[in-house]
Amino acid sequence: MHKPESHKRNKVFIYWVEIVGTCNLRCPTCATGNFLDTEFNSGPNPTGFMKLSLFKQILEKIKSDDVSDRTEVHLHTWGEPLLNPKVAEFITLTKEAGYVCGVSSNLNLDKNLKEVIKADPQMFRVSVSGYYQENYSKTHKRGDIKVVKANMYRLRHLIDQYKSKTEVQVLYHVYKHNAGDDLLMMMKLCDELKFTLDPVWAFYTPLEKSLAYINGKATDADLETISMLAVDPFKATQAALPFKDQDCDLRKTHMTINIDGSVQLCNYTYDNAYVVAPSFVDIPHMDLQHMRYSNDMCSICMENAQHVYPTYLVGEGMDKIGEAALFENNAKFVFKQHSEPRLALRKGNMIEAIELPRYPGPKVKQNRGLRKIKNLFLGKT
């Protein structure tokens, strides 16, 4: 049985801080889009915006805990951070504290976009699943890809105008149906705008939904969505089971803080039932870790290897499953997330490797020492 290592300092520790308790979209593979009110075990999660005063206390607590050589604070879990009218102030406070700051957005609104870029976070991630509305609308419900593309151009303009060092990373979620012209055109757009394109396998969240599916309890709506996935959760689980005994990165080096300052078991769980502590700022770090490590859901999750494949610890297995699904659907591209070439054009029995647009941001000085390490940004599907 794994236990939190109180004697060992982390090289990196990542805090996911939810500053907005809702989203403007209802994506079917995301908890905000697929989790019904009737499915909560202990009532719906808190909504609204995190208060700046609470966030300041959180940053002070992170500083006093001092658990890693490099600390990252990402201002999102399930919510859309641009909805928070004070999002730029959250970024500024994070950077002033000496931490790497990341923001992720569906970019269906340009609210506060100028202020965000002026605040200059190290990373701005954009979530997409198509270039044309027909495919995009299947998996980004309520979204308009024309608005997204217009805002991508605005993002480039603002970065140039304010000489921002923010790295923009476009996270392209790969499904069975969108590894063709949509991916090609998004690649061209990213190259034009000098944004990094990072295709990744789409997978089903949250943990509660994934467990329901592999145990034969998925709803009809769940099954309809899962049918679009190139990496089927059941097949991925089977590939991951031989590796289930390893510890979970999401509890070892990550911590999720809700808008009310409570601590979630991890950023893969959604239900309010998996709040392990009422207050991050009042409880010592190792006490929080013991609460998480001893939680029953952790044992259930790990027994089913759900901590392995969503964190990409069985990458080659996921690639094989996804590649087979794309081939069966006559996809134009061969895609691998975990080996090179990551993207290749299918030409009969041959494939032609394609170089993805890569425009990494500048190296950043970390909060301890004078080392300069390229920013690592882990995002959510």
Residue 165 has pLDDT above 70, yes or no: yes
Please write down the HEC assignment for all residues of 6-27: CCCCEEEEEEEECCECCCCCCC
Tell me the per-residue pLDDT of 14-63, one tens digit each, with 9 for 90 and over: 999 999 999 999 999 999 999 988 888 877 778 899 999 999 999 999 99
pLDDT digits (tens, 9 = 90+) for 171-209: 999 999 999 999 999 999 999 999 999 999 999 999 999
Query: Which pLDDT band, with edges at 50, 70 and 90, does 377 fall under?
Result: very low
Whether 152 contacts 126, CB under 8 Å: yes
Cα atoms in the 13 Å half-sphere on the side-chain side of 12: 13
341 preceded by a cis bond (ω within 30 of 0): yes
For the chain, list the domains and their CATH numbers: 11-314+357-373 (3.20.20.70)
**DSSP class of 299:** H
> Does residue 369 have a pLDDT over 60?
no
In 3D space, the residue among 19, 89, 54 whose CA is nearest the CA of residue 279 turns out to be 54
Per-residue pLDDT, averaged over 351-360, amounts to: 92
Identify the pLDDT of residue 310: 65
